[in-house]
Structure 1
Amino acid sequence: MSQAADEPRNTVHDGNGRAGDSGVSFVPADFTVPRGFRDATFHLVPLGPEHNDRDYRAWTSSMDHIQRTPGFERYGWPVPMTPEENLRDLRRHREDFEHRVGFTYSVLIGDDVIGCVYIYPAGRPGHATVRSWVREDHAELDAPLYELVSAWLRQTWPFHDFSYSPRTKEHDFAAR
């Protein structure tokens, strides 16, 4: 798949960019990366190997739906993989988080994984590319998650700007 020069590289799991081999953080050294976020509906926690079974069930139950989600239409993910491959991918996301080169959060309702949020470099200093998805059986929560994450990014994160595919009426999954 061809990408624009300022687009991040793809990973197997999420179609999001990885920071590359430089290991350079894309947030300032003095920024305290949020270990999560909670509101009345959602609980975001750093994605890691402990989520493997629930994460695997979440995205494999909604592959076509995720591929239609704004921001994922052209990234070629999800693709079939084994639970072991998914576990390796979750470990990579945890490493990215620990090295401050990308931040992936599981979206939980209670203990149930209903989606993910990915925050990765956009190829320009101070800019991020953000993507999120929710399971098809929670499609009505896609727009509220988008609004919540957008506000959280503006209020808490140190980015000058970020790209995050908006949710519009034509992408209203609940109406389909």
Structure 2
Amino acid sequence: MTIVPAGFEVPAVHRARGLRLELLGPQHNEADHAAWTSSIEHVRATPGIAEGFGGHWPPAAGMTLEENLADLVSHADRSARRVDLAYAVLDHLEGTLVGCVYLKPTREPLAVRVLSWVRADRAELDGPLTQVVGDWLLGDWPFTAVRYRIGLAPATLRAL
């Protein structure tokens, strides 16, 4: 089963509000590793992350670059197979990796569960990132419902 219907072309890149989202892969290894390892407590405290990753990510003790690379290869493979999708979030002007977005399947047809995090030193991007991703998924993707944990409670964004 795939997260999107056959024939839907998964966007490799999306730009909006000063952010650039691009499919996460091995090319992001050093930047991704630096982003989350500098913000482990902040990322773990982000609503939805602990539940979305079974409480195992990010690991409190961190990971080596090699372990992180294996994780990114796995994300890229799952994205290529359309099982789930992961995007790096970059500051469009600086090119700095500031976070990630994960699209996970649900049991409902054309619904998606979204998880995201940003580095602690870029926490002000949480709200704008949520808005960018919600608008993008409901506007350009085939989803009719987007489940995104906002604050303490899950929120469902629906297409009109």
What range describes the TM-score normalised by the shorter chain of this pair? 0.7 to 0.9
Q: Residue by residue, what CA displacement relative to the aligned partner does 1:138-174 show, whole Å, maximum 9, x if unpaired? A: 0011111001111111101111212101247xxxxxx
The unaligned stretches of length 5 or more in structure 1 are: 1-23, 169-176
Asked if residue 78 in structure 1 is aligned to residue 58 in structure 2, the reply is yes
What SS does the corresponding residue of 1:57 show, helix, strand or coil?
Answer: helix
Q: Deviation at 1:97? A: 1.1
2:47 is aligned with what amino acid?
A: P
> Within the alignment, does 1:128 sit opposite 2:105 as a pair?
no
With the length of structure 1 as denominator, give the TM-score of the two structures.
Answer: 0.78
**Distance in 2 (alpha carbons) for counterparts of 1:167 and 1:140:** 14
- Cα distance between partner residues in 1 of 2:17 and 2:136: 14
* 2: CA distance, partners of 1:127 / 1:112: 30
* Distance in 1 (alpha carbons) for counterparts of 2:122 and 2:30: 18
1:25 CA drift (Å): 1.3
Amino acid at match of 2:29: N
**CA separation in 1, counterparts of 2:131 and 2:47?**
14
Equivalent pairs counted in the alignment come to 145
Quick one: which of 51, 61, 82 aligns to 1:100? 82
- Normalised to the residue count of structure 2, the TM-score between the two structures is 0.85
Whichever structure has more strand as a proportion of its residues is: 2
- Superposed CA deviations along residues 69-99 of structure 1, whole A, max 9, x for unmatched, are 1111434221022111110110011011111
Indicate yes or no: 2:20 matched with 1:43. yes
How far apart are 1:123 and its partner, in Å? 2.8
- CA drift of 1:40 comes to 3.6
Residue 102 of structure 1 and its aligned partner are, at CA, apart by: 1.1
Moved over 4 A (4+): none
Q: CA RMSD in A?
A: 1.4
Cα distance in 2 between the residues matched to 1:167 and 1:30: 34
SS at match of 1:165: strand
Give percent identity, aligned residues only. Answer: 45
Q: Within 1, Cα distance between the matches of 2:79 and 2:88?
A: 12
Q: 1 CA distance for matches of 2:29 and 2:87?
A: 13
